[in-house]
């Protein structure tokens, strides 16, 4: 029933426009009552994103099973679950992307969904790095980096109309996150010079943490 309602809603959104479509229109198209709609969707906006609740649950379940896996690898792999959800139905995903770009209310709703994914990733990272001090900061920054990288690759694919390899685009973006924040990068940043050299670096006030780490790594590589 959830899928039937979502399909009816989306078809009407494309035919009539999101703002012009009412819940009564949706339930009439689906052949059910209003109570059935609100049993599955709190609002019209939720019907545009019917798969995100399941994907959030899958992400949470996945992160609960990763054990001692490198934290950055784990959250990057978790983000790929969102990509697979989109790539499983390219036509619907591209249509939804275009509709979302046209309706300000849907863009706002989408941002709230993205934030929930980011909070899920950050929660896992805080469990590995600690809840206080730099551990919590590191968790938030890495989670934001993963989401930004994932969305950059995903939206590039969506803007192309679903052409090409979505996974390749997202993997390329996530590789940059691993390069800056992964275990190999952390080990390299903490490794002292064999000759006892000291590296002094000046960073702009307010520079993002990932940029500072990147500059440190570059400076150490030149010593």
Stretch 98-117: mean pLDDT, rounded? 92
Average pLDDT of the chain to the nearest whole number: 85
Nearest to 38 by CA among 28, 27, 52: 27
Residues 155-172: tens digit of each pLDDT: 999 999 988 888 998 999
State the number of CA atoms in the 13 A half-sphere of 117 facing the CB. Answer: 28
The percent of residues in the chain predicted with pLDDT above 90, rounded, is 58
Highest mean pLDDT among 5-19, 74-88, 179-193, 202-216: 74-88
In this prediction, residue 208 carries a pLDDT of 60
Which is higher by pLDDT, 55 or 222?
55
Tens of pLDDT, residue by residue over 135-194, are 999 999 999 999 999 999 999 999 999 888 889 989 999 999 999 988 755 544 443 333
Contacts of 26 (CB under 8 A, 6+ apart): 5, 8, 9, 12, 37, 44, 47
- pTM of the predicted model as reported, rounded to 2 decimal places: 0.77
Q: Residue 157 burial by CB count (10 A; 0-12/13-18/19+): exposed, middle or buried?
A: buried
Per-residue pLDDT for 212 more than 60? no
pLDDT for residue 203 = 56
Q: Distance between alpha carbon 175 and the CA centroid of its chain, in Å?
A: 15
Q: How far is residue 145's CA from residue 203's CA, in Å, rounded to a whole number?
A: 19
């Amino acid at each position: 029933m959830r899928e039937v309602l979502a399909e009816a809603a989306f078809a009407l959104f494309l035919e009539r426009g999101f703002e012009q479509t009412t819940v009564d229109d949706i339930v009439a198209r689906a052949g059910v009552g209003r109570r059935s709609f609100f049993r599955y969707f709190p609002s019209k906006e939720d019907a545009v994103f019917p798969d995100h609740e399941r994907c959030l649950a899958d992400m949470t379940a996945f992160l609960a099973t990763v054990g001692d896996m490198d934290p950055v690898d784990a959250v990057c792999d978790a983000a790929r679950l969102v990509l697979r959800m989109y790539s499983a139905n390219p036509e619907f995903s591209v249509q939804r992307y275009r509709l979302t770009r046209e309706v300000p209310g849907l863009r706002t709703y989408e941002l709230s969904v993205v934030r929930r994914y980011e909070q899920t990733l950050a929660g896992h990272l805080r469990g590995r790095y600690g809840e206080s001090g730099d551990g919590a900061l590191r968790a938030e920054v890495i989670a934001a980096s993963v989401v930004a990288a994932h969305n950059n690759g995903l939206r590039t694919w969506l803007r192309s109309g679903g052409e090409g390899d979505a996974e390749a685009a997202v993997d390329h973006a996530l590789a940059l996150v691993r390069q800056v924040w992964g275990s190999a990068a952390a080990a390299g940043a903490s490794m002292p010079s064999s000759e006892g050299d000291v590296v002094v670096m000046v960073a702009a006030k307010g520079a993002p943490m990932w940029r500072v780490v990147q500059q440190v790594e570059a400076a150490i590589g030149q010593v």
